[in-house]
Structure 1
Amino acid sequence: MSYLYLTILFPLIGFILLAAGRDKLSENVAALIGVGSVGLSALVALFAGIEFVQADGTAYNQYLWTWFNVGDFSATFGLHLDGLSLLMIGMITGVGFLIHIFASWYMRGEDGYARFFSYFNLFVASMLVLVLGDNLALLFLGWEGVGLCSYLLIGFYYSNPANGWAAIKAFTVTRVGDVFLLIALFLLYQQFGTLDTVYIVENAKTMLTDSNIAFWTALMLFLGAAGKSAQIPLQTWLADAMAGPTPVSALIHAATMVTAGVYLTCRTYTVFQMAPEILQFISIVGAVTLLVAGFAALVQTDIKRILAYSTMSQLGYMFMAVGAEAYQAGLFHMLTHAFFKALLFLSSGAVILAYHHEQNIFKMGGLFKRNKFLFACFAIGGGALAALPFITVGFFSKDAILWQVWAHGHTTGIETYGTLFWVGVAGAFLTSIYTFRLIWVVFFGEEKTHYHEIKGVSYWLPLAILAVLSTAVGALLQTPVLNILTEANIPAFTMTADLEHYKHTIELYAVGIALTGLVLGIILFAFAYGSVKKLANTSFGAGVAHIWRSAFGFDALYDLVFVKPYLLLARILGRDPVDGLWLMIPAVVKGGHKFTSWRQTGSLREYASSIALGVVVLVIILIVKQVGL
């Protein structure tokens, strides 16, 4: 595995070549470099995985060089491969390669074709640094790298100012989370004297004994993770990030960057275990996020924003699992989510092209008759998203989370987790409804926009592979994934033996309510849509829809609490009040000079009158004083 560094080097070289060539490169050459570099990285990751399994899951460390020395602190540029990082690089390079293939078709004819792939390659390289780095300083380097690439790719169509603002918003909100993460790194270094990840994980239980330090360190780590993974209160950027090209949404906002927060919390799980109240807080935040996002997805009209809110919701499930110490279930759902959400985003990209870049689902319709392959992809991806039982991969991952959250509550006696289980079930109910709504409106009914025929192997091949992985076939990966995670010392979920016989009952609850949501969605949108529109046109319906459409008004709240006060302060400071204060002194002197010089008229009559007036005033003062005596 001495060639592990090549997984990062290949896409980095691709970035350099594409950035240097830019408009000088033809689309074919740019696609060859952009797609080929990630393909080579995926091949290296595959070979590394095979060797890792043959070595019985023994962790591998590759020292490359010393990054920097500052006083007693030394950061290496080294790579660490264990079961968790192997899962991540497999997902990043494997799914990323398929998305790159699709993007080579999707972006044809766009200005900045080579520029797009240069950003795409740099993103993959940064993400690999994030998950392979053997210390948290190197993780932070990759963390900032993917943030930069996210900004560049969201604002790719920069000629439209709205896209630029969306990119700035994503960059700013995630930077808030990054500040918290940086504080966490300072706290960890203060306690451990190093940022070596393995050392911190192995020694957290013996060295992080101060409950206050453990609390604040875990909280800062989670807030950093929440920024990247779009969890409340740092979730507002994700929906607007759909301004970027659709392959960007598939790669960054479904399969890779947004899962970095989940990776971070699982990588440093022993730190969180020293602050159980933060673990509970993580589950609560995940549950609230999935519910808020589920309601928001119900009323969106933009096909990509629906999927964006569903991504936010599924990330909520992952964090709910992490907070319940069901790390392996959360990580497996992260993998399955990469399959079916990448499938849905790429399929939506194909739909958008087929309808001449139209993204409003109510201006589509009738696509089932035109393209049954896309319908099959949406049906499989949507089924996995809604966790249709037994036939989709989402069933095997999401229901495992719900069951383990319930079991954790009964094992620990913390009633909160029992409540969170029902919140998760309610989220599954909403997911079924908005998923059916999306598919029904796009693929059935009257065709409202002229359909444009789409074709090409680089269009259908990635979709076909992802569709297969989104079925129960993808669930075959569950056992090997859980095995390598166990070998990476990511704890398997434990519970008391007397709870095991409740498993099927709890799963039946979850499946039954999700299927009820599907049936309700069919009734509402296939048979009673007229009644739905009538309700939406009432004052009550319009008000509720507005609240849900705005995702419960977090943007408006932040605008009122943070943006407007900041702009007011900027306007005040823009006039430099300190300089203004000092300028008052010369202003007073100048005013006094102007007043005295105004009396210098050169008229003897005025001077005599002034003297006489002064004498009169003095006489009056003397008389008053005399009377007073």
Structure 2
Amino acid sequence: MSYLYLTILFPLIGFILLAAGRNKLPENVAAIIGAGSVGLSALFALIAGIAFTNSGETVYVQHLWTWFSVAGFAPGVSLHLDGLSLLMMGMVTGVGFLIHVFATWYMRGEEDFARFFSYFNLFVASMLILVLGDNLALLFLGWEGVGLCSYLLIGFYYSTPSNGIAAIKAFTVTRIGDVFLLIGLFLLFQQFGTLHIGTIVENAPQVLSLDHNLALWTSLMLFLGAAGKSAQIPLQTWLADAMAGPTPVSALIHAATMVTAGVYLCCRMFSVLEMTPEVMQFISITGAVTLLVAGFAALVQTDIKRILAYSTMSQLGYMFMAVGAEAYQAGLFHMLAHAFFKALLFLSSGAVILAYHHEQNIFKMGGLFYKNKFLFACFAIGGGALAAIPFLTIGFFSKDAILGAVWVQGQTTALYGSLYWVGVAGAFLTSIYTFRLIWVVFFGKENTPYHEITGATYWAPLGILAVLSTGLAYFLKAPVMNALNAAHIPAFNIPQALEHGMHAAEYTAVGIALVGLAVAVVLFAFAYNAVKSFAATSFGAGLVNICRNAFGFDSLYNIVFVQPYLLLAKIVGRDPIDGLWLVLPALVKGGNKFTSTRQTGSLREYASSMSFGVVVLLMILIVIQVVGK
């Protein structure tokens, strides 16, 4: 366990070496440093995890140094290892390493190869700081680090202006969430006098019960911070545009790092959130609305990566539904499962994109099943897990546990009963857009010539992730739950009388998801002409436009926030306050110009002016005399 700090140190060293070497490093050297540093991080994470498990301890803290000390506030750079951080550390380093290996193949021949991996290494290091920090100040450092790295990686192809705009958008929207989180940290420090996570979680019931309104605002600020990082409504608009970065970036953001940070924060601070049932319900509602909006948006996208991006948003909605329903362990297990199958889907889509000469429009692909059955198998497994195909995929064992928990909560709170059906509707939509994606890419008409792709660094990560996305990964559930129990993350309490009904609710969700799959088969395999005919009608085109633009949140924000801000910036950019001080010199300059023009050298004009002045003075004297009397 004493090696715990090395899990962060190796990626940081890799970042420094790659950033210093930049274009001077050969590709092979940069690849070895980039992937090797994260591989070493994963190795020492495994060693530390085994030692921690064998020790029988529930918490291990490694204090490195005191960060700073101000007026009694002295947060330490200390690493906290328990069941939850062990789960997150394993996911970040394990899945992150596979993505790094794949990226060494995908980015081969790209300009700024070393720069890419320097950002990639820093991304992993920042996420590890976030999940291993034992206080919220250190967590916030990692939180900002992943935000910075997302900006750098989304805008990696900065020579294209739209990519830079997408990076700025991601940075700006997530910064809004970060401001809310920072306010939450201030409120926590005000009430607890510390930002130490263990102290806050342990004492939250006693401290926050003293002032419910203050507890309400604290919980709400924490959740809004989480919503920004995890792309939940109303801060979800950045995630689809984040596809501007290279495909391995999308895989890392969506599977192992940034978007999982919000779920982790909520589960880590569960005792704070539980003090405000209103916020817990709001979290579930937000997750439910997000998963439905994202599901409809994914139905009509044509970009292969945007389809997967909206599916990520939808699956994160399920995780937040679980948090709001107090089914933290179910939400966290779905997060792990999602990391496996979403990394598989994104990396597979990257291979598809290269096979079709960097084409991302699914309707310009087609026929890939007959050219590369390995990629089809990977997509089928990943898509099956996304759609939660029963027993065969890991998604079935994770997603339906969430819906079962929400149903149980619905037996005492009507709101959750409605949210259960929203979740079921989301599962229905997931099956449809997943089948649509696979059918068009692998069985549609071939519209772009196929390019053969090979390499162990391409198929090995995909093969490992494919296995982890099957039902075999169900055997990870027991050790994960044991680890979370040891970390005192509450297990969901299922009343014995409701067990049968809960299982029936889970089977109902599975059944409707399968119905969605059957509907998708009919629509896209047998009646696709009817689908196109409907989309060509005015009503159908309107629906498609609404869904493709994800219900117009971008347009709304542009009208309400962006344009007024740009107008204000234009006004203030000329500095009107400073302009007021220029009035006096302008008057002096104008007077000088006027008097200068009067110097003509004409005696007649001088005499006329003097006469006019005398007349004016006499009139003034007469007025004074009259007024005086």
Question: Deviations along 1:21-65, whole A, 9 cap, x unmatched?
Answer: 222222111111111111111111112222222223521111111
> What TM-score does the superposition give when structure 1 sets the normalisation length?
0.96
Shift of 1:256: 1.8
Residue number in structure 2 paired with 1:388: 389
Residue number in structure 2 paired with 1:552: 551
* Whole-Å separation in 2 of the counterparts to 1:137 and 1:615: 79
1:561-580 matched pairs, under 5 angstroms: 561-580=560-579
Residue number in structure 2 paired with 1:182: 182
CA contact (8 A) 1:127 1:146 kept: yes
Say what the alpha-carbon RMSD is for the aligned residues: 2.1
For the structure 1 residues 401 and 615, does the alpha-carbon distance in structure 2 shift closer, same or farther, using more than 3 Å as the test?
same
Residue number in structure 2 paired with 1:33: 33
Residue number in structure 2 paired with 1:146: 146
1:316-465 matched pairs, under 5 angstroms: 316-410=317-411, 413-465=412-464
The AA in structure 2 aligned to 1:338 is A
Residue number in structure 2 paired with 1:62: 62
Residue number in structure 2 paired with 1:171: 171
Question: Deviations along 1:107-150, whole A, 9 cap, x unmatched?
Answer: 11111111111111111111111100111100011111111111
Q: Which moved more, 1:132-141 or 1:537-546?
A: 537-546
* Whole-Å separation in 2 of the counterparts to 1:509 and 1:618: 103
The AA in structure 2 aligned to 1:175 is R
CA contact (8 A) 1:381 1:467 kept: yes
* Whole-Å separation in 2 of the counterparts to 1:195 and 1:316: 28
CA contact (8 A) 2:407 2:502 kept: no
* Whole-Å separation in 1 of the counterparts to 2:329 and 2:609: 99
* Whole-Å separation in 2 of the counterparts to 1:616 and 1:589: 23
* Whole-Å separation in 1 of the counterparts to 2:534 and 2:343: 34
Residue number in structure 2 paired with 1:155: 155
Q: Which moved more, 1:107-116 or 1:379-388?
A: 107-116
* Whole-Å separation in 1 of the counterparts to 2:107 and 2:616: 93
Q: Which moved more, 1:154-163 or 1:376-385?
A: 154-163
Residue number in structure 2 paired with 1:581: 580
* Whole-Å separation in 1 of the counterparts to 2:51 and 2:390: 35
Residue number in structure 2 paired with 1:207: 207
Residue number in structure 2 paired with 1:533: 532
Identical-pair percentage = 75
Shift of 1:580: 1.6
1:100-115 matched pairs, under 5 angstroms: 100-115=100-115
The AA in structure 1 aligned to 2:604 is L
Shift of 1:606: 8.5
* Whole-Å separation in 1 of the counterparts to 2:33 and 2:584: 66
CA contact (8 A) 1:286 1:315 kept: yes
Structure 1 residue ranges without an equivalent (≥5) = none
The AA in structure 2 aligned to 1:318 is M
Shift of 1:386: 0.5
CA contact (8 A) 1:255 1:337 kept: no
CA contact (8 A) 2:166 2:242 kept: yes
Residue number in structure 2 paired with 1:220: 221
* Whole-Å separation in 2 of the counterparts to 1:479 and 1:440: 35
* Whole-Å separation in 2 of the counterparts to 1:165 and 1:458: 32
Q: Secondary structure of 1:63's match? A: strand
CA contact (8 A) 1:45 1:93 kept: yes
Q: Secondary structure of 1:70's match? A: coil
For the structure 1 residues 593 and 204, does the alpha-carbon distance in structure 2 shift closer, same or farther, using more than 3 Å as the test?
same
Shift of 1:592: 5.1
Shift of 1:558: 1.0
Question: Deviations along 1:331-378, whole A, 9 cap, x unmatched?
Answer: 000000000000000000000010000000000000000001100100
The AA in structure 1 aligned to 2:452 is E
For the structure 1 residues 330 and 622, does the alpha-carbon distance in structure 2 shift closer, same or farther, using more than 3 Å as the test?
same
CA contact (8 A) 2:427 2:512 kept: yes
Question: Deviations along 1:447-505, whole A, 9 cap, x unmatched?
Answer: 11000011111111111111111110011111111111011000000133221120221
* Whole-Å separation in 2 of the counterparts to 1:117 and 1:191: 42
Shift of 1:586: 3.4
* Whole-Å separation in 1 of the counterparts to 2:352 and 2:115: 24
The AA in structure 2 aligned to 1:169 is K
For the structure 1 residues 9 and 596, does the alpha-carbon distance in structure 2 shift closer, same or farther, using more than 3 Å as the test?
closer
2:269 aligned with 1:268: yes
For the structure 1 residues 595 and 23, does the alpha-carbon distance in structure 2 shift closer, same or farther, using more than 3 Å as the test?
closer
Shift of 1:233: 0.9
Q: Which moved more, 1:508-517 or 1:320-329?
A: 508-517
CA contact (8 A) 1:238 1:253 kept: no
CA contact (8 A) 1:57 1:488 kept: no
The AA in structure 1 aligned to 2:441 is V
CA contact (8 A) 2:68 2:74 kept: yes
The AA in structure 2 aligned to 1:96 is G
2:307 aligned with 1:299: no
Q: Which moved more, 1:434-443 or 1:180-189?
A: 180-189
* Whole-Å separation in 2 of the counterparts to 1:81 and 1:489: 13
Q: Secondary structure of 1:69's match? A: coil
CA contact (8 A) 1:256 1:338 kept: no
Shift of 1:172: 1.1
* Whole-Å separation in 2 of the counterparts to 1:10 and 1:462: 21
For the structure 1 residues 622 and 294, does the alpha-carbon distance in structure 2 shift closer, same or farther, using more than 3 Å as the test?
same
CA contact (8 A) 1:341 1:381 kept: yes
Structure 2 residue ranges without an equivalent (≥5) = none
Shift of 1:230: 0.5
* Whole-Å separation in 1 of the counterparts to 2:368 and 2:547: 27
For the structure 1 residues 20 and 608, does the alpha-carbon distance in structure 2 shift closer, same or farther, using more than 3 Å as the test?
closer
CA contact (8 A) 2:39 2:97 kept: yes
Q: Which moved more, 1:259-268 or 1:413-422?
A: 413-422
Residue number in structure 2 paired with 1:280: 281
* Whole-Å separation in 2 of the counterparts to 1:401 and 1:284: 14
* Whole-Å separation in 2 of the counterparts to 1:579 and 1:19: 42
2:501 aligned with 1:499: no
Q: Secondary structure of 1:73's match? A: coil
Shift of 1:516: 1.1
CA contact (8 A) 2:254 2:343 kept: no
Q: Secondary structure of 1:359's match? A: coil
* Whole-Å separation in 1 of the counterparts to 2:22 and 2:609: 85
The AA in structure 2 aligned to 1:170 is A
* Whole-Å separation in 2 of the counterparts to 1:380 and 1:426: 22
CA contact (8 A) 1:255 1:341 kept: no
CA contact (8 A) 2:254 2:339 kept: no
For the structure 1 residues 551 and 615, does the alpha-carbon distance in structure 2 shift closer, same or farther, using more than 3 Å as the test?
same
Q: Which moved more, 1:238-247 or 1:11-20?
A: 11-20
* Whole-Å separation in 2 of the counterparts to 1:507 and 1:191: 41
Shift of 1:225: 0.6
The AA in structure 1 aligned to 2:146 is V
For the structure 1 residues 48 and 610, does the alpha-carbon distance in structure 2 shift closer, same or farther, using more than 3 Å as the test?
same
The AA in structure 2 aligned to 1:554 is F
* Whole-Å separation in 2 of the counterparts to 1:214 and 1:609: 79
2:475 aligned with 1:473: no
The AA in structure 2 aligned to 1:86 is L
The AA in structure 1 aligned to 2:475 is L
* Whole-Å separation in 1 of the counterparts to 2:322 and 2:616: 92
* Whole-Å separation in 2 of the counterparts to 1:516 and 1:286: 23
Question: Deviations along 1:171-219, whole A, 9 cap, x unmatched?
Answer: 1111111111111111111111111110110001111221111111111
Q: Secondary structure of 2:67's match? A: strand
